[in-house]
Amino acid sequence: MSKINYSRREFVKQNSLAGLGTLVTMGVAPTLFANRATDTSIPAILGGQKLRTKGWPGWPMWNPATDEEQVITVLRSGVWSRAGRVTEFEKKWAEVIGTKRCLAVVNGTNALIAALVQLGIGGGDEVIVPPYTFIASVVAILQTGAMPIFVDTDPETFQIDHDKIEAKITPRTRAIMPVHILGLPADMTKIMAIARKHNLLVVEDACQAWLAEIDHKKVGTFGNAGCFSFQNSKNMPIGEGGAIVSDDEAFMDRCYSYHNYGNPYGAMVGKVDSGTVIAGTKLRMTEYQAAIGLAQMKRLEVQTTKRNDNAAYLKSQIKQIPGILPYKFNQKVTRAAFHLFPFRYKKEEFKGLTRAEFLKALQAEGIPCSGGYTALNKMPYLENVLKTKNYKLMYPSEMLDYTKYMEGNQCPENDQLCQEAVWFDQNMLLAEKPDMDDISTAIERIHKNADKIRNLK
């Protein structure tokens, strides 16, 4: 860690503070109970001193000494379009995840679209998806012409409630798209059993779940295909980028072909004399992206361990505060990615202080936080898509009745979760234990003073 990590400004600051460029934990941090017992400070939002004035690890991180040279090498080679570096990136990502094949593409959204399309999902099909996800999961389903069917969220795990999936299966259901949202694994054991029973395809949206595991097996390897994102904010940032992984060679050959205009690839070569074989598109990653990706891959393992350690510690501390309900893992989760650290905020335990007021008070202490997603099953795009020419051609009119569609896709648990969730960003989990203590102390301080903060005008 002496060479990498913080944004430039942070990098300089940490270097001068700790000499070795790392936030070394000196001695033992006081326990939360000690902090809680002695902390009589006035919250920053009430005019007290801000608990934390120092920043958090910046994002993205890179190592100027080694990473920049990789990009320059690509530049000077003049080979910028897909070539050897992309192939190397795919080989390594497949190894890291534990699949036979990987295809690098332009982003996670298009990884999902390509996977769905090449599994034969399209107009007239229903795809089951959770509403607690990033819009791109649903965008991908709609781009294929399929109909998203929402299954409610388990508020304890923040993941799709697998026990509610079967009730949503109809003769039109072709696939399930579990999303390992926030980097916490959905229960793939249960979901795969349902898929086998009903003969459904499974495309895992692992766009926030690099290296997350269930029983030591990486997520993205359970279904027919797994899709990843390497967008700038993600734990493995390239700027833009995505990948599809699978053990199904024929499927991966089709994905390759699709991402390269439909030109033949692998097993598809030889089956045709010449020329383009399928209706493809163009999704190729550049050599620059692959160069950065290869550099990022090297630090992902260490960073993932650190996020897991700090998340477990932070969870153990804040769960002691009444009204703070941190995430729970599904069964057999051996590792998470922690793209975000989530908990539920119960205002009843904070004298009725609203979540918005709580977030503001926490931010005032120097703890960045957000309220997370709004309900995806209730946004205007759905009404608009049902009115499009293509959807009118692909579905009977009763399926395009928006009121009916809305009724069938209610997710009350998710609605409540969207009101109660609080998130911390993944890069905060790359700080040290005393920094985690700052978070819990700040929450405790707000809890103690909730009454006064609520009366603030």
Ligand X SMILES: *Cc1c(COP(=O)(O)O)cnc(C)c1O
Q: Which residues bind ligand X (CB under 6 A)?
A: 107-109, 133-134, 136-137, 179, 181, 205, 207-208, 229, 231, 242
The torsion angle over the Cα atoms of residues 317, 306, 424 and 105, rounded to 10 degrees, is -150
Min dist. Cβ of residue 234 to ligand X (A): 6
Min dist. Cβ of residue 232 to ligand X (A): 9
Q: Which is nearer to ligand X, 111 or 450 (CB)?
A: 111
Q: Which is nearer to ligand X, 136 or 439 (CB)?
A: 136
Whether omega for the bond prior to residue 60 falls within 30 degrees of 0, making it cis, is yes
CA distance 109 to 135: 9
CA distance 151 to 142: 16
CA distance 357 to 456: 10
Min dist. Cβ of residue 406 to ligand X (A): 23
Dig out the tokens for 125 from the structure.
Answer: 């099909």
Radius of gyration of the chain (CA): 23
Q: How far is CA 116 from the centre of its chain?
A: 19
Q: Which is nearer to ligand X, 201 or 207 (CB)?
A: 207
Q: Which residue type is seen at 416? A: Q
| Long-range contacts, 144-151 (Cβ 8 Å, 24+) | 144/113, 144/116, 144/117, 145/390, 145/391, 145/394, 146/116, 146/121, 146/122, 146/174, 146/175, 147/172, 147/395, 147/399, 148/382, 149/173, 149/408, 149/409, 150/376, 150/377, 150/409, 150/411, 150/414, 151/411
Positive or negative, the CA dihedral 359, 360, 366, 369 is positive
Min dist. Cβ of residue 230 to ligand X (A): 7
Q: Which is nearer to ligand X, 372 or 434 (CB)?
A: 372
CA distance 291 to 363: 36
**Which of 297, 268, 295, 293 is CA-nearest to residue 280?**
268
Min dist. Cβ of residue 111 to ligand X (A): 7
Min dist. Cβ of residue 110 to ligand X (A): 7
Eight-state DSSP code of residue 201: E
Min dist. Cβ of residue 186 to ligand X (A): 11
Positive or negative, the CA dihedral 103, 108, 111, 116 is positive
The dihedrals phi and psi of 18, each to the nearest 5 degrees, come to -115, 5
What Å distances lie between residue 96 and 93, 205, 217, 294, 353, CA to CA? 5, 17, 11, 12, 45
Q: Which is nearer to ligand X, 44 or 209 (CB)?
A: 209
Q: Which is nearer to ligand X, 48 or 372 (CB)?
A: 372
Q: Which is nearer to ligand X, 107 or 286 (CB)?
A: 107
Min dist. Cβ of residue 280 to ligand X (A): 19
Min dist. Cβ of residue 106 to ligand X (A): 8
| Packing angle of the helix pair 287-318, 433-448 (nearest 10 deg) | 50
Min dist. Cβ of residue 109 to ligand X (A): 3
Min dist. Cβ of residue 244 to ligand X (A): 12
Q: Which is nearer to ligand X, 6 or 424 (CB)?
A: 424
Q: Which is nearer to ligand X, 228 or 345 (CB)?
A: 228
Largest CA distance in the chain: 79
Q: Which is nearer to ligand X, 137 or 221 (CB)?
A: 137
CA distance 59 to 53: 18
Q: Which is nearer to ligand X, 179 or 311 (CB)?
A: 179
Alpha helices by DSSP H, listed for 119-245, are: 135-143, 188-198
Cβ-proximal residue to ligand X, closest one: 108
Read out DSSP for 225-242? EEEEE-BTTSSS--BS-E
